[in-house]
Amino acid sequence: MQKKGQLIKRLQDVQNSDGYVSQSSIKSISKELGVSESHIYGVATFYAQFRLRPLGKHTVKICRGTACHVAGSLDLVQAIKDILKLKEDEDTTSDRNFTIEEVACLGCCSLAPALMVDKKVYGKVTKEKLEQILDEYK
């Protein structure tokens, strides 16, 4: 197998062990495979499975499916960012306690708008309930 053909496998290995692909991992893989760092970065940013920043201790998944969208999930996304003091381009809090992620569907449309913290689902979420939910994980 060509070294260039091993790139995705190596990125997956790093992601699985470290939780994300760091700049130092990219440098290491570049030297190991003889592939430019810019090419590796291009591959890592093309595929949604790779993260270039570490995850927080708790992952908050906000459903953006049709039922949740109609029920106001976009407002919840903004409310979460406001509560956690995240800038528009950030998804992880500076203390690395929370990472937020918008997902296509959580599969619980009757609970719209819904979100999931780690493995626990919360339904009929309002801005008021949101602070209480997040406080459970602080």
How many beta carbons lie within 10 A of that of residue 112, not counting itself?
Answer: 20
Identity of the amino acid at 113:
P
Tokens of 78: 């903004």
pLDDT band at 4 (very low <50, low <70, confident <90, very high): low
Residues in the chain: 138
Which structural domains are found in the chain, ordered by start?
4-46 (no CATH), 58-135 (3.40.30.10)
Spatial separation of the C-alpha atoms in residues 74 and 83, rounded to whole Å? 14
pTM confidence score:
0.77
Structure-model confidence comparison of residues 49 and 97, the more confident one: 97
Given this model, what pLDDT does residue 32 score?
92
Q: How many helices (H) and strands (E) does the chain have?
A: 6, 4
* Residue 89 binned pLDDT confidence (cut-offs 50, 70, 90): confident
Per-residue pLDDT tens digits for 11-36: 999 999 998 999 999 999 999 999 99
pLDDT tens digits for range 125-135 = 999 999 999 99
Cβ count within 10 A of residue 125 = 25
